[in-house]
Amino acid sequence: MGEFFSFLQNNLADFWSYTGFYNASPGHIAMLVIGIVFIYLAIAKEFEPMLLIPIGFGILIGNIPFNMEAGLKVGIYEEGSVLNILYQGVTSGWYPPLIFLGIGAMTDFSALISNPKLMLIGAAAQFGIFGAYMIALALGFDPMQAAAIGIIGGADGPTAIFLSSKLAPNLMGAIAVSAYSYMALVPVIQPPIMRLLTTKKERLIRMKAPRAVSHTEKVIFPIVGLLLTTFLVPSGLPLLGMLFFGNLLKESGVTRRLAETARGPLIDTITILLGVTVGASTQASEFITWDSIKIFILGALSFVIATTSGVIFVKLFNLVLKKEDKINPLIGNSGVSAVPDSARISQIVGLEYDPTNYLLMHAMGPNVAGVIGSAVAAGILLGFLI
C-alpha cells in the first residue's frame, strides 16, 4: 500500500513538473501581462482591434510556461508543432504578400490616378524609414537590424514583418508589435506635428476636385504599376506583385468573386494566423530586452520623421505649383501608409479649420502611394543588404 502511495506521489510530482505553475518565470508573467494589456487596449480603447486581439492573445499562447525538455511539441519554436507549422508563414514570408493581395483587392487607386503628383508625397514620407535607420545605427544596431527597425516608419505591418523576418528574425516580434502599436496611435502622433508645421492659411487651401477616372485607367494602373516598380526593384516582387494583382482582380470587373475572396475571407484568415503567430513568437527572453525598448523609441521617432517629411515636402512642393494646383499640406501626413487612418487624420484636422473642406479623397492618394512606397523601400533594403 505504501508503495502504491509512493507511486501516486511520484506521479503527481512528475505531473506538477509539467505544469505552467512549476515552469513559470518572471519573464513569462511579464509577457502575459503585456498580452492582457494589448487585449485591453484593443477591446476597451479600440486600438487596432483586428490586430491587437490576435497579437495579444498570441502573446498569451506563446508564453504559457511548460517543460521545454519534455518534447511535447507544443511550443512555437518546436519543430513539427501546430504553432510551428502556422509560424512557417511568417518565417518563410508568405503571410505578408497574401495580406497585400487583400489590400490590393480592397484599395481604390482612383485618387492617385486622377492626381498622380500625389505619389511624390508617398515617396517623401518614406524618409521616416531611413531616418530611423540612421538613428538605429547610431544606437549600435548593425545595418540589417537597423533596416528592419527602420521599416516601422513605413507604417505597414505586413511589410515590417516581411522585412524583419528576412533581416533580423530575432527582433521580428518587437518590430511587429511596435509597428502595429504606432499605427494604432496615428491619431495621437500625427495631428500635433501637422498643426506645428503648417500655417492657418495653408490649412485652408482648397484642392481642385479630382477628375473622374475611367475604367481603362483603373485596369492599366496595376499592370503598369507592377511593371515599373518591379523592374526597378525586383526584390519587392512578393509584396508589389500581390498588391497589384489584388488590385487588378478588383478593377478588372470580371473577377468579382476572386476579389471578394481576396479582400474578405482570405485576408481575414491570414490576419488571424499572422497576428496569433507573431504574438506567440514573442518570448520573454527575446522580447523583454533593452533592444525592444530601443525599438519602441525608434518606432515612435520613425512615425514622427515620416509625418514631418510628408508635410514639409508638400510645403516645398507648393512653391513650384500653380496657385490652382496647390496642395493642402495637411494631407502630407497621409504619405505614412497606415491606410486609411492617416488619410482620415488629414480629413479630421482639415475640418477643424474649415468645416466644408473635405480632404479625405485627396489624402487617399498619398496614402495608397505610401503603401507602394514602403513596399518599394522594403525591396530596396532587401536588395542592398542580402
Partner 1 sequence: MTRNKIGIFLSLLLAIGLCSCHGSTDRSNTKLIINEVLIENQGNYQDDYGLHSGWIEIFNKSYSSADLAGCYLKVSSTPGDTVSYFIPKGDILTSIKPRQHALFWADGTPRHGTFHTNFVLSKDKENWIGLFDSGRKLLDQVVVPAGILQANQSYARISDASSEWEVKDDSAEKYVTPSTNNKTIDSNPKMDKFEQHDPVGIGMAISAMSVVFVGLILLYICFRLIGKLSVKLRKQNAMKAHNITDKQEAKEKKLGEAPGEVIAAITMALHEARGADHDVEETILTISRVKRSYSPWSSKIYTLRETPNRK
**Residue 85 touching partner 1 (CB under 8 A):** no
Q: Which residue has the cell 509597428?
A: 179
Residue number with CB closer to partner 1 (63 or 341)? 341
Q: Which of 30, 195, 217, 353 binds partner 1 (CB under 8 A)?
A: 217
User: Does residue 144 bind partner 1 (CB under 8 A)?
Assistant: yes
Residue 44 binds partner 1 (CB under 8 A): yes
| Residues 6 or more apart in contact with residue 195 via CB below 8 angstroms | 349
Report how far apart the first and last C-alpha atoms of the chain are (Å, whole number).
67
Q: Does 232 interact with partner 1 (rule: CB under 8 A)? A: yes
Question: CB under 8 A: which stretch of 65-73, 120-128, 250-258, 319-327 binds partner 1?
Answer: 120-128
Nearest to partner 1 of 76, 240 (CB atom): 240
Residue whose C-alpha is closest to residue 156's, from 178, 135, 137: 178
Q: Are 133 and 306 in contact (CB under 8 A)?
A: no
Nearer to partner 1 by C-beta: 12 or 316? 316
Q: Of how many residues is the chain composed? A: 386
Give dist(CA 357, CA 3) in Å, integer.
85
Which of 69, 74, 38 has the alpha carbon at shortest distance from 56?
Answer: 38
Per CB under 8 A, the list member of 102, 158, 275, 332 interacting with partner 1 is 102
> Using the rule CB under 8 A, which residue among 1, 212, 254, 320 binds partner 1?
212
Number of residues this chain uses to bind partner 1 (CB under 8 A): 72
Candidate segments 17-25, 41-49, 90-98, 281-289, binder of partner 1 by CB under 8 A: 41-49
Q: Among residue numbers 47 through 66, which ones bind partner 1 (CB under 8 A)?
A: 47, 49-50
Cβ(51)–Cβ(271) under 8 Å?
yes
Residues 172-201 that bind partner 1 (CB under 8 A): 184, 187-188
Three-state DSSP class for 47? coil
Applying CB under 8 A, among 114, 277, 283, 307 the residue interacting with partner 1 is 114
Q: Which of 7, 18, 40, 384 binds partner 1 (CB under 8 A)?
A: 384
Residues 344 and 359: their CA atoms lie apart, in Å, by 8
* Cα–Cα–Cα angle for 287, 292, 294, rounded to 5 degrees: 170
Does position 138 bind partner 1 by CB under 8 A? yes
